């Protein structure tokens, strides 16, 4: 399953080249306007694109709330009160159909010029977090669940001999929703405030390397924490759990080396017993674990582009 953080993040594997070069075409939509998306507009977009009836949407909201509560219970110590308050106030969930995901991307895209449509058009993408608009967008997974049911029919029948098709498809659908929503919700919590307010065009050259490394940390941490939450809290879901092995192992390595400080950096929360300077040093050390070789392994940059990354200023 593919996930991505959208909005202010460079959002595809192409982006090392993209953000390093001047070949970014067509920035007609202006960034100031793009950053000021008002709440009413978001509400109307959510209404317009929602692919599910209100009753079902409410179930999704309840799932999201449950995920939030579990995340805050298990990892709340690493999440600042400020972030928690923001999440309770602003976060919006949009559930769209497979087809509308692309249409939505095209409509949302001009408001976020740095964002790459190809990434969302991938059929593997199941959800995205848009920092612009503070929007968690997931596919309703209906088509995907049907596909999985058809393609892995035998496997499911073997595992659950009594199951009927409708129940099986629903189980698959909700497993996908829970795992995607967990992953994207985690992104929505960990994107640091300083990054939310920025477009990539505003990021100084000297920060681009850090920006890419942060994106790598974001993916590894989100995969690791998602997997952990699903195991501990949603043990009954039937799929969507064990992907992204390299990302998970990378974060496990960081936890092993830095202890719980890896969580503090991931959620961008300074531990109480640490001064600003030490925290900044810790962040720098941890981000620098992501060298070009590792970034290729976790598909943040493309193979062959290592030298582009290596030449970025520190
Ligand atoms: Zn992700």
Q: What is the pLDDT of residues 234-243, one digit of tens each?
A: 988 877 667 8
pLDDT at 134 over 90: no
Cα–ligand 1 centroid distance for 257 (angstroms)? 22
Tokens 């390093």 identify what position? 20
Helices (H) and strands (E) in the chain, counts: 17, 4
Cα–ligand 1 centroid distance for 223 (angstroms)? 7
Please report which confidence band the pLDDT of residue 216 belongs to, taking 50, 70 and 90 as the band edges.
very high
The pLDDT assigned to 32 comes to 35
pLDDT at 263 over 60: yes
Bridge partner list, 129 = 5, 136
pLDDT at 25 over 50: no
DSSP annotation of 135 reads E
pLDDT at 20 over 70: no
The pLDDT assigned to 201 comes to 59
The pLDDT assigned to 76 comes to 95
Which carries the bigger pLDDT value, residue 88 or residue 76?
76
pLDDT at 218 over 80: yes
Cα–ligand 1 centroid distance for 154 (angstroms)? 30
Cα–ligand 1 centroid distance for 3 (angstroms)? 4
Cα–ligand 1 centroid distance for 216 (angstroms)? 9
CB-side exposure of 306: number of CA atoms within 13 Å?
A: 11
Share of the chain above pLDDT 90, in %: 42
Cα–ligand 1 centroid distance for 164 (angstroms)? 33
Share of the chain above pLDDT 70, in %: 78
Distance separating alpha carbons of residues 283 and 270, to the nearest angstrom = 10
**Cα separations in angstroms, 304 against 150, 248, 307, 310:** 38, 23, 7, 11
pLDDT at 43 over 60: yes
The pLDDT assigned to 199 comes to 57
Cα–ligand 1 centroid distance for 222 (angstroms)? 6
Cα–ligand 1 centroid distance for 157 (angstroms)? 31
Cα–ligand 1 centroid distance for 252 (angstroms)? 16
Cα–ligand 1 centroid distance for 69 (angstroms)? 20
The pLDDT assigned to 122 comes to 54
Q: What is the dihedral of CA 99, 48, 34, 218, to 10 degrees?
A: -50
Q: 72-100 as b/e, with b when 16 or more CB fall inside 10 Å?
A: eeebeebbbeebeebbeeebbbbbbbbeb
> Under a CB-based contact definition with an 8 Å cutoff, are residues 222 and 1 in contact?
no
Least confident among 130-144, 149-163, 218-232: 149-163
Two tokens, residue 245: 């092995």
pLDDT at 114 over 70: no
Cα–ligand 1 centroid distance for 275 (angstroms)? 30
Least confident among 68-72, 269-273, 286-290, 310-314: 310-314
Cα–ligand 1 centroid distance for 122 (angstroms)? 14
In the predicted model, what is the mean pLDDT of residues 131-142?
Answer: 86
Query: Strand 2-6 vs strand 125-130: parallel, antiparallel, or unpaired?
Result: parallel
Cα–ligand 1 centroid distance for 163 (angstroms)? 32
The pLDDT assigned to 202 comes to 64
Least confident among 21-25, 103-107, 182-186, 294-298: 21-25
The pLDDT assigned to 4 comes to 44
Please report which confidence band the pLDDT of residue 109 belongs to, taking 50, 70 and 90 as the band edges.
low
The pLDDT assigned to 11 comes to 35
Mean residue pLDDT across the chain: 80
Cα–ligand 1 centroid distance for 170 (angstroms)? 24
Cα–ligand 1 centroid distance for 81 (angstroms)? 23
Most confident of 28-42, 79-93, 144-158, 287-301: 287-301
Bridge partner list, 4 = 128
Which carries the bigger pLDDT value, residue 222 or residue 123?
222
**Which regions of 26-65 does DSSP assign to beta strands (E)?**
none
Cα–ligand 1 centroid distance for 156 (angstroms)? 27
Query: Strand 135-139 vs strand 125-130: parallel, antiparallel, or unpaired?
Result: antiparallel
Cα–ligand 1 centroid distance for 7 (angstroms)? 13
Two tokens, residue 173: 């659908």
Cα–ligand 1 centroid distance for 84 (angstroms)? 20
Tokens 């092995």 identify what position? 245
Cα–ligand 1 centroid distance for 245 (angstroms)? 13
The pLDDT assigned to 252 comes to 97
The pLDDT assigned to 29 comes to 29
The pLDDT assigned to 12 comes to 32
Cα–ligand 1 centroid distance for 10 (angstroms)? 12
> What is the enclosing helix (H) or strand (E) of 125?
strand 125-130
Please report which confidence band the pLDDT of residue 63 belongs to, taking 50, 70 and 90 as the band edges.
very high
Two tokens, residue 237: 């879901």
Phi, psi of 6 (to 5 degrees): -110, -175
């Amino acid at each position: 399953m593919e996930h991505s953080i959208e909005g202010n993040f460079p959002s595809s594997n192409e982006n090392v080249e993209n953000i390093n070069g001047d070949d970014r075409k067509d920035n007609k939509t202006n960034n100031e306007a793009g950053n000021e998306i008002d709440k009413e507009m978001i509400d109307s977009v959510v209404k317009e694109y929602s692919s599910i009836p209100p009753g079902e949407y409410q179930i999704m909201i309840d799932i999201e709330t449950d995920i939030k509560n579990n995340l805050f219970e298990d990892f709340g110590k690493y999440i600042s009160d400020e972030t928690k308050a923001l999440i309770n106030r602003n976060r919006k969930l949009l559930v769209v159909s497979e087809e509308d995901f692309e249409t939505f991307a095209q409509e949302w895209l001009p408001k976020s010029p740095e964002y790459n449509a190809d990434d969302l058009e991938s059929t593997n993408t199941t959800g995205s977090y848009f920092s612009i608009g503070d929007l968690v967008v997931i596919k309703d997974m209906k088509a995907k669940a049907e596909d999985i049911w058809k393609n892995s029919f035998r496997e499911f029948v073997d595992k659950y001999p009594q199951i009927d098709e409708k129940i099986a498809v629903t189980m698959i659908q909700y497993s996908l929703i829970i795992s995607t929503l967990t992953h994207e919700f985690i992104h929505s919590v960990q994107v640091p405030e300083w990054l939310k307010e920025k477009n990539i065009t505003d990021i100084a050259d000297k920060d681009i390397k850090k920006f890419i490394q942060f994106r790598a940390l974001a993916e590894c941490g989100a995969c690791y924490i998602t997997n952990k939450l699903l195991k501990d809290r949603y043990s009954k879901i039937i799929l969507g759990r064990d992907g992204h092995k390299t990302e998970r192992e990378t974060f496990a390595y960081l936890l092993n080396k830095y202890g719980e400080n890896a969580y503090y950096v991931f959620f961008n929360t300074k531990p109480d017993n640490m001064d600003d300077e030490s925290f900044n040093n810790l962040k720098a050390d941890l981000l620098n674990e992501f060298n070009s070789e590792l970034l290729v392994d976790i598909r943040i940059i493309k193979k062959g582009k290592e030298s582009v990354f290596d030449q970025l200023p520190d």
